[in-house]
Structure 1
Amino acid sequence: MARAISLAPNANLSAVGSRTPEKAKRFAAENGFPETVKTYGSYEAVLDDPNVAQCTCRSPRPSTHGGRWRRRRRRSTLWTGACGMWMHHPRLHKMKELLSNPHLFGQLKSVHSIFTFLADSDYLENNIRVKPDLDGLGALGDIGWYCVRIILWAADYELPKTVTALPGAVLNKAGVILSCGASLLWEDGRLATLECSFLANLTMDVTVLGTKGTLHVNDFNIPFDETSASFKFATEDLPQEALMIKEFATLVGSIRDSSSKPDKKWPTITRKTQLVMDAVKLSVENGCAPVNVVN
């Protein structure tokens, strides 16, 4: 993100926060940040900086309690963005054009997404993503998030009727998900499956099946090459994470300078992604029983 902020033409790196002052300073030194970039030993300290807080808001810790998250978001007058970097890559728009073409793709029938990587022993013991008090959703909340988001994107963000966890979920001794799968079913018969795991070889696949065509991407979340992707066409010479920062900075600037209203697109689809993930986790906890998704 620091690199992306530096690359985005309308954003500047102002401060870095970590859980200790030493970590923040070390990160700044290792990445050669200029002396103007402040370092803080807590995230609260970053938000208390008057040059930063005016463009940010305190976001609640990720939680399965979606209702609480929604209530807090409604009370906030400022907006944050989730790191769905691939949603800002130009190839996504080209892919949507193909999926929207009834002569080439036809009607959507199913979506299958997989995001896995083999975590080492240190990661599985010490990373914040395996700590229930820091990120209780584990692999589901980390890489599973992208699987859910790409499925909803393909379905034009229409929520499924039911979500069912697949048997075989792996949890660590603290109860955090290390590996799981789920199936999603819509009322019209459309089906989606997802698999996310910290225990398997690196895979970032999505396959979208229609009545007339099939779309397959084997690096949907992070292109293996920053400067090219499976769909090649004229685009800006910036990686997708910088395009994300650029768009976020544009939205913030329009609110600050032109009194524009916040764009409701991103919080809306973020909430829907969280609703599906909450349903997957609840199904895991209930022995893979189907869970109705309520908007």
Structure 2
Amino acid sequence: MESLFLNPQHSNAGLPDVSPLIGKMEMAGNQIRFGILGCAEIARKVSRAISLSPNATLFAIGSRSIDKAKRYAAENSFPETVKVYGSYEAVLDDPSVDAVYLPLPTSMHVPWAVLAAEKKKHVLLEKPTALHVSLLDRILQACESNGVQFMDGTMWMHNPRTHKMREMLSNPSLFGELKAVHSIFGFCANSDFLENDIRVKPDLDGLGALGDAGWYCIRSILWAANYELPKTVTALQGPVFNKAGVVLSCGASLLWEDGKSATFQCSFLMNLTMDLTVIGTKGTLHLNDFIIPFNETSAGFSLASESGFTELVTGWVPLPSNHVVTTDLPQEAFMVKEFASLVGNIRDSASKPDAKWPTISRKTQLVLDTVKASIDQGCVSIDIVS
């Protein structure tokens, strides 16, 4: 599930007022109509993103009980026009729903994502996408055979900062050739989380910190490498498990045939950290909030290009340049906007689903699975088999 750190009282204090936008959405007739399966905490964030996106509208919410669905809708100030259902099936059976967002536990992804695809609903699926790539393949096959768009919920991928960083990494005079990537995502979970959160339950999200936090690290590494799969993966020594055998902290190193390398660490047991460093032959890119920016309307990074020491080795020259990208929407709204645009092209222009996003999801899942296999086998090196 997407990590979310909000006020435990579910206050919307400090967030933009979206009610005018919601009204605008209700009056328009060409938005993609979203249904949400489940009342997860992260769905609060994505439902807001749907309301903020200019080409999407929140149409329905479903839970396993009508009372829970009604309570969730009321607590989150959903418009009265949003349909409230007492089952997931009812959302999928609604002919007016174009697409569904699934924030369900990972162990529930296959049956509900496959059924959604069979009902011709486009699928925005929370990460990690599955417990194993073979299970993700069942979802992707169902989406492909039913002509529906698939995308996972890795929000930072859609931030305009990410596109700006890609421009710089693709500039050979600024960055050169990729040599190494280092990625860290961790947060210090409290005792209640470590005992009761679905991300520490083997029957719900059995991949633990690797699936939740490690997904982002692996995705950032693949992103930096233009989605070229590494040749080998080796889990770092000393993974930490809870009493049920779920990973609470781990890491891995990745190696490519051309010699570039990467490492990552992910944990539920460290101070909140979201660092990404991408190193080339000419440049080094740094950012400290790559998953959730410090500010949702602006995001920064630094790039040091052809840096060296001053004459007496007392400093750097030239100094790294700092870059800030401002946005009019939070990154999760950009995600919804892009997904809805792809869905709209399929619905209104008979376009085919974009294969980019399922391909990226599958590569991320494949590397994650290989890290898990290395952990299970005593942190041995394992070749990636696609």
**Same fold per TM (> 0.5)?**
yes
Letter in 2 for 1:263: D
Deviates more, 1:195-204 or 1:43-52: 43-52
Larger RCO, structures 1/2 (Cα 8 Å, 6+ apart): 1
Q: Which residue of 1 aligns with 2:324?
A: 232
* TM-score, scaled to structure 1: 0.94
Q: How many angstroms apart in 2 are the aligned matches of 1:35 and 1:107?
A: 53
Q: Which residue of 2 aligns with 1:278?
A: 369
Letter in 2 for 1:100: S
Within 5 Å, which residues of 2 pair with 1:114-193?
Answer: 114-193=184-263
Q: How many angstroms apart in 2 are the aligned matches of 1:28 and 1:259?
A: 33
RMSD value over aligned CA atoms? 1.8
Gaps of 5+ in 1: none
Q: Which residue of 1 aligns with 2:142?
A: 75
- Report the number of matched residues: 293
**Post-superposition offset of 1:41:** 4.1
1:23 aligns with 2:68: yes
Whether contact under 8 Å (1:63, 1:137) holds in the other structure is no
- More strand by percentage: 2
Q: How many angstroms apart in 1 are the aligned matches of 2:237 and 2:295?
A: 35
Deviates more, 1:59-68 or 1:223-232: 59-68
Instruction: Give identity over the alignment, percent.
Output: 67
**Post-superposition offset of 1:33:** 0.8
- Largest Rg, 1 or 2: 2
Residue 174 and residue 62 in structure 1: after superposition, are their counterparts in 2 closer, same or farther (change >3 A)? Answer: farther
Equivalent of 1:34, from 47, 64, 79?
Answer: 79
* TM-score, scaled to structure 2: 0.72
Q: How many angstroms apart in 2 are the aligned matches of 1:151 and 1:134?
A: 26
Q: Which residue of 1 aligns with 2:173?
A: 103
Whether contact under 8 Å (2:53, 2:337) holds in the other structure is yes
**Post-superposition offset of 1:79:** 2.6
**Post-superposition offset of 1:45:** 3.5
Q: How many angstroms apart in 1 are the aligned matches of 2:354 and 2:181?
A: 27
Within 5 Å, which residues of 2 pair with 1:52-91?
Answer: 52=97, 54-56=98-100, 58-59=112-113, 62-76=129-143, 77=146, 78-91=148-161
Q: Which residue of 2 aligns with 1:289?
A: 380
**Post-superposition offset of 1:236:** 4.7
Q: How many angstroms apart in 1 are the aligned matches of 2:138 and 2:209?
A: 25
**Post-superposition offset of 1:125:** 1.4
SS at match of 1:50: coil
